[in-house]
Amino acid sequence: LCVFNVFQDSIDASKKLEEEFETIERKREELANYLCEDPSKLSLEDIFSIMKTFRDLFIR
């Protein structure tokens, strides 16, 4: 019974993590569209780089 609970908790945590990844992916696509970029070509790292560049230029 205890092992089953551990497995079930792990499965539940995995499902929640997958939902979070799906949410991040949707937000990445929304932000790419907002920036007039192709969502299939713009990675999350690219978005962070764009935001950092914007921030650096804005602070100047």
- pLDDT digit string, tens, across residues 11-55: 999 999 999 999 999 999 999 999 899 999 999 999 999 999 999
Between 1 and 8, residue with greater pLDDT = 8
- For the cut 80, the answer to whether the pLDDT of residue 1 exceeds it is no
Question: pLDDT tens digits for 2-12?
Answer: 888 999 999 99
What are the tokens at 38?
Answer: 């192709």
Residues 35, 36, 38, 41, Cα dihedral to 10°: -40
